[in-house]
């Protein structure tokens, strides 16, 4: 459910999140009056915080305590309220440059092994962010397309069949959407049309890697074949996701000791479940931080922020995971991320993740 906030409510939520991130203490109206120039009384702030609580954006951990941002409150903060001032922009620019310089000065690509380099990058990222850093080993699948065929199975239903150079076969079905104003097409005419599209695709795509296929602009198909565009686009994404089982799910992990100092991880059992995930279940984590990124559109690499319960893996549903992909040329080959409490410096964490991903992309390219 989308929450509509007034400008004043947005300002109070922004101040509450900022104060809680800085102090780790539930926030009361007096603290906001003392720390921020909000231009309203303490009573007005209390009333607005009550409204934000009823909207599910804040909550009280104890009856007599101040308020704390919920996952939904953090989500609105990240999506709508991070509007850096000139000073904030300067700080994030300095932070990005700090990450870039640290990577340049400490990593020697000519002399070190790839694994050692990524371990070093993960250590730098953890030190700068104060979070657990995660960097996946680059994926180098070379599977290419050998043959592609569109086949009519029955009336208004077609199948895409793809054969790779290793003779693995993949298929996917679709219902052919038809314009109600047009007469039902003759099956022979559909067969002829599918053969033309198949010939066109084989001419242009044979020999290309599966990762390359996700960069195709399917809208460039001839107008007569546009109805197949979305199906081909989604089919190739699904095929790539299923086929590209990584040769290794190894993830470079650094900074666990840094995070254990945070009050959110004071309970031993909680940090143990996270460590178990990082050490014993990296395949699940790999699918989360890179499995979805590998089928991004061409040139659309961006920072992804998953807050608390937005994370599908139970051990990190009290954490925030921030990730981005690094690329070789135009193709995503790995992922960079940080994992920390939901109470973290989102602007800074997003900045360092983006800077590290950009540096690795440039190095790998």
pLDDT in tens, 228-278: 766 777 776 666 666 554 555 689 999 998 788 888 887 788 889 999 999
**Cβ atoms of 165 and 196 closer than 8 Å:** no
Nearest to 160 by CA among 210, 152, 345: 152
Q: How far is CA 344 from the centre of its chain?
A: 17
Greater model confidence, 298 or 39: 39
Tens digits of residue pLDDT in 198-239? 888 888 788 887 767 666 666 665 555 666 766 777 776 666
pLDDT at 295 exceeding the cut of 50: no
**Cβ atoms of 294 and 266 closer than 8 Å:** no
pLDDT of residue 104: 79
**Cβ atoms of 171 and 159 closer than 8 Å:** yes
Contacts of 29 (CB under 8 A, 6+ apart): 42, 43, 45, 46, 49, 66
pLDDT of residue 289: 87
Tell me which DSSP letter residue 318 carries: T
Residue 298's pLDDT band (cuts 50, 70, 90): very low
Which pTM was predicted?
0.74
How many Å apart are CA 269 and CA 315, to the nearest integer?
Answer: 10
Poorest-pLDDT segment among 92-101, 186-195, 244-253, 273-282: 244-253
Greater model confidence, 101 or 31: 31
Where do the H-state alpha helices sit in the chain?
A: 7-23, 29-35, 42-54, 71-76, 86-106, 114-129, 187-205, 210-213, 229-243, 256-260, 268-280, 282-286, 346-364
- By DSSP bridging, strand 58-59 and strand 157-164 are unpaired
Q: What's the Cα-to-Cα distance from 324 to each of 207, 210, 279, 355, 360, rounded to whole Å?
A: 28, 21, 21, 10, 11
pLDDT of residue 253: 94
Residue 80's pLDDT band (cuts 50, 70, 90): very high
Q: What is the mean pLDDT of the chain?
A: 82
């Amino acid at each position: 459910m989308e929450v509509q906030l007034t400008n004043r409510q947005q300002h109070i939520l922004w101040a509450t999140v900022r104060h809680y991130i800085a102090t780790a203490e539930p926030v009361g109206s007096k603290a906001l009056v003392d720390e921020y120039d909000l231009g309203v009384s303490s009573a007005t702030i209390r009333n607005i915080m009550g409204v934000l609580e009823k909207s599910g954006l804040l909550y009280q951990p104890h009856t007599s305590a101040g308020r704390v941002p919920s996952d939904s409150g953090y989500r609105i903060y990240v999506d709508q309220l991070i509007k850096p001032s000139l000073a904030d922009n300067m700080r994030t620019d300095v932070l990005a440059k700090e990450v870039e310089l640290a990577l340049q000065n400490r990593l020697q690509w000519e002399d070190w092994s790839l694994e050692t380099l990524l371990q070093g990058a993960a250590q730098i990222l953890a030190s700068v962010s104060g979070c657990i850093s995660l960097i996946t080993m680059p994926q180098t699948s070379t599977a290419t397309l050998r043959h592609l065929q569109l086949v009519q199975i029955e009336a208004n239903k077609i199948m895409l069949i793809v054969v790779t150079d290793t003779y693995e076969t993949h298929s996917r079905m679709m219902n052919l959407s038809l314009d109600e104003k047009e007469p039902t097409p003759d099956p022979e005419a559909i067969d002829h049309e599918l053969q033309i599209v198949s010939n066109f695709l084989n001419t242009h795509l044979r020999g290309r890697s599966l990762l390359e296929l996700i960069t195709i602009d399917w809208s460039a198909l001839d107008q007569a074949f546009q109805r197949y565009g979305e199906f081909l686009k989604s089919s190739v994404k699904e095929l790539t996701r299923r086929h590209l089982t990584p040769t290794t799910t190894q993830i470079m992990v650094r900074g666990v000791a840094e995070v254990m100092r945070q009050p959110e991880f004071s309970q031993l059992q909680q940090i143990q479940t996270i460590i178990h995930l990082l050490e014993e279940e990296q395949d699940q984590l790999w699918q989360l931080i890179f499995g979805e990124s590998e089928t991004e559109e061409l040139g659309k690499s961006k920072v992804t922020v998953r807050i608390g319960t937005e994370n599908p893996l139970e051990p990190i549903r009290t954490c925030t995971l921030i990730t981005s992909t690094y690329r070789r040329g135009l193709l995503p080959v790995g992922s960079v991320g940080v994992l920390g409490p939901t109470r973290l410096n989102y602007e800074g964490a997003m900045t360092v993740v983006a800077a590290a991903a950009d540096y690795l992309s440039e190095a790998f390219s």
